Amino acid sequence: MEEFNLTTAVIIFVTYILIDILYAAYIIFVANGRAFLSALVSSGIYGLIAFGVVTFSRNFLYLIPLVAGAFIGTYVVVKFQKKISKS
């Protein structure tokens, strides 16, 4: 098992925040019938997910920043969407 590295953990954390933000954009693009943007965002999502999988398969402790990043990414997107809906 690879040694835990704080820099790698932070990169994974930020990556999974970005994945959740991109996932929300993907849903919006699909709902609006924007095929090219949907495909572009989808490829970015899967590329970033692959990075996370390769990294945490070497050390399962990286699942902690992964899950935390996913939580915060979703939370931020939903709060932002609620704020936009109220305007």
pTM above 0.75, yes or no: yes
Could you read off the pLDDT of 7-41 as tens digits, one per residue? 999 999 999 999 999 999 999 999 999 999 999 99
- Is the residue at 86 inside a domain? no
Q: How many structural domains comprise the chain?
A: 1
Identify the domain containing residue 50 by its residue range: 6-80
- Is the residue at 1 inside a domain? no
- Is the residue at 85 inside a domain? no
Taking phi first (over 0 means left), then psi (-120 to 50 degrees means alpha), and beta for anything else, what does residue 50 get? alpha
- Is the residue at 46 inside a domain? yes
pLDDT at 87 over 90: no
CA distances from 57 to 15, 30, 44, 72 (A): 16, 31, 20, 22
- Is the residue at 45 inside a domain? yes
- Is the residue at 31 inside a domain? yes
